[in-house]
Structure 1
Amino acid sequence: MALLTPVAFFIFNRPDLTAQVFEAIRQAKPHKLLVVADGARFPEEEEKCLKTRQVIKNVDWDCEVLTNFSDTNLGCKYRVSSGLDWVFSQVEKAIILEDDCLPEPSFFAFCEELLEYYYNHEQIMHLAGTNLIPQPHLNTSFLFSRLVPIWGWATWRRAWNHYDIEMKLWNKYKTENDIYYFGKQANNVYNVFESNYLNQIDSWDGQWAFNCVANQGLTIIPKINLIKNIGFREDGTHTKAASHICSIPVQSIDLPLIKPLETIPNKEFDEKFLEFSNRPNPPSLTKSLKNLVKNWIKKY
């Protein structure tokens, strides 16, 4: 069955990863595909960017394809944010995937049903596909959260209208007590928002998370993980090394979805999710062996 919800696909310079995620989109067969691409940073990268864009030519189903390709390199912060501005100038709602976010097939049905069901629920601003601490025994299909995971997600134009890349609400918000919702992780959340506000990170998603939080927005998170991040490698923008957060297995979510009776964020879940995501990566076996040898040499 074809997917009625538009899919927005963000690509750059990794044709092999783009092809994997494109194949998942191809299996879902959306009626509309919006593709956003950044330009090369230097001449040697132009061929990779071109090969990546050529992956989209493999659309072989009934699909309207719209493209927004930049001739110059805008960087992560401005390419993704301007791309999403363009997406929501075209459509009212969208499922959003980057080139390294490989969805489990049921992710699309999960998003499509909930985008329609909560279309007019202003407080719900974000649908996530990622759950780093799965809750398989939860008696509903998903929970509500104040976190904003962006490895495979979906939203509406009405929510994206709150996006402010300059985070003008931050100076007022950080004097309020709402940040303490995040408990022991409040300082980590504060530091992420402050770093984005000071433009110390070339990223768009910290601003999106802040605008959701500052507007008391809620996120829907599936009880199990629906997205595998395949981009943790040397050519990643922010994900150059392997991490424990990309090792969570994906599962198919059962349909029809069972919805919670109340739209209340799960504070305990949010703290545990942040604790897990902020946990340092354990040292690799190779690194541990090297350290052992180094210490042995020093000793003897």
Structure 2
Amino acid sequence: MSLAPIVLFVYNRVEVTKRTLTCLKANKLAQDSDLYIYSDGGKDEISWKSVNCIREYLKTITGFKSVTIIEREINYYLERNIIDGVTNIINRYGKVIVLEDDVLTNPYYLQYMNDALSFYESDKRIKHISSIPHFDVKTNKDIIFTSLMECGWGWSTWKDRWSDFEYYTDKQDALRGLTNKDFSNLEYGGRFACLRSLDKKPIPWDICWALSIYRRGGICIEPVVPLSQNIGLYNGTHYKGYRLLGKDPYDRPYKTFKVKKFPTEVKVNEEMEYFLFHEFNGFGMKYNWLGQLVRIVYRFFKNGKI
């Protein structure tokens, strides 16, 4: 099995970048993987100081099969940097594993991504492989399938799937041909702020990717527990995070879990879909007593037992 290249996007956050690379280097397949780092340029004199500091650090990185640093001469901004970088590398290799500068990975992250890319390469329904689940589900499987691409914090895909990617420059373009039912599906009853995010300028790249997948009836893979953790929730470009009862619902540490079982039957997980559509994961409910109670009641009536 040929290993997928890793593409890492960094900007001006020195400490989180160091933590991200430390975890990535500790991965079992790191020394056999090619790493491409896209370093975005600064916006002003202050940001350029941090950018240059990061670039000096990047020159010291070892522990991979190869390390290639692409230094942007100007500020590309997150959207252009990611879209251009992913497209360039995936066109060369046919597949890619993507990380941003604030994503910690468990030691088996690269193994999981490469195994999934190999196992499901011929199933064109699958468009996106995630490393963070929407929330934990009760199952004896190692991975599940969902109809929503929500998380771009550590993911992978193939060239023929990425070729379907469309970047929408305005809301009208993004929503062309969609029905009211589509809007409800995309929003999951308000759980996924896809449509509201279309008001942003520029439109976030991951929202465009989610829409591209949805338009083609794509399926996404998620592990049953987090295999990565975002440590930049409160100072990221798009997501600033929020706290309910002192906790952000996405602020979950990764688990040292090795994915071993990949189902041959590709079927969307019913429990995941139910909770997404009924908002039982909204507002951090999975992470407080009320969310736990709702889940227990749901399972009792569905299965006749807890």
TM-score tier, shorter chain, comes to 0.7 to 0.9
Query: Which of the numbers 64, 87, 105 marks the counterpart of 1:103?
Result: 105
Counterpart pick for 2:283 among 262, 279, 297: 279
CA RMSD across the alignment: 2.7
Cα distance, 1:268 vs structure 2: 3.5
CA contact (8 A) 2:103 2:229 kept: yes
1:171 lines up with 2:176 in the alignment: yes
Equivalent-residue separation in structure 2 for 1:22 and 1:203 (angstroms): 24
Which residue in the other structure is 2:262 paired with? Answer: 259
Amino acid at match of 1:224: V
Who is 2:251 aligned against?
A: 247
Q: Which amino acid aligns with 2:251?
A: S
Matched ranges for 1:38-57 at <5 A: 38-57=40-59
Write the deviation string for residues 164-223 of structure 1: whole angstroms up to 9, x where unpaired.
102756311x227445446x824555x624642x55454211000110111111110001
Equivalent residues of 2:197, 2:203 under 8 A apart: no
**CA contact 2:132–2:226 (8 Å) conserved in 1:** yes
CA drift at 1:16: 0.7
In the alignment, what sits opposite 2:61?
59
1:139 aligns to what? 140
Q: TM-score, normalised by structure 2?
A: 0.79
Change in CA separation of 1:62 and 1:210 when aligned onto 2, cut-off 3 Å: closer
Query: What is the alpha-carbon distance in structure 2 between the residues aligned to residue 193 and residue 265 of structure 1?
Result: 23
Take 2:176 and 2:57, find their aligned partners in 1: how far apart are those partners? 43
| Corresponding letter in the other structure for 2:19 | Q
Report the Cα distance in structure 2 between the residues aligned to 1:10 and 1:17, rounded to whole angstroms: 12
Aligned to 2:4: 5
Identity, in percent, stands at 22
For residue 87 of structure 1, report the CA deviation from its aligned partner.
Answer: 2.1
Partner of 1:224: 225
What residue in structure 2 maps to residue 288 of structure 1? Answer: none
Over 3 Å counting, the alpha-carbon distance change for 1:265 and 1:181 in structure 2 is farther
What residue number does 1:238 align with?
238
In structure 2, the gaps of 5 or more residues are 286-306
Contact 2:112–2:258 under 8 Å retained in 1: no
Report Cα offsets for 1:202-248 as digits up to 9, x if no partner. 42110001101111111100011111110023x43234455422322
Q: Check 1:25–1:201 CA distance in 2 against 1; reply closer, same or farther (3 A cut).
A: same
State the partner residue of 2:23: 24
Question: 1:129·1:227 contact (CA, 8 Å) conserved in 2?
Answer: yes
**What number of residue pairs does the alignment pair up?**
273
What is the CA–CA distance in structure 2 between the aligned matches of 1:207 and 1:276, rounded to whole Å?
25
3-state SS of paired residue (1:246):
coil
When structure 1 is superposed on structure 2, of 204-213 and 78-87 the one drifting more is 78-87
In 2, Cα distance between the equivalents of 1:101 and 1:276?
A: 26
Q: Which residue of 2 aligns with 1:291?
A: none
Give how far 1:56 is off. 2.3
Q: Aligned letter for 1:171?
A: R
- Please, which runs of 5 or more residues in structure 1 have no aligned partner? 282-300
- Cα distance in 1 for partners of 2:122, 2:152 equals 22
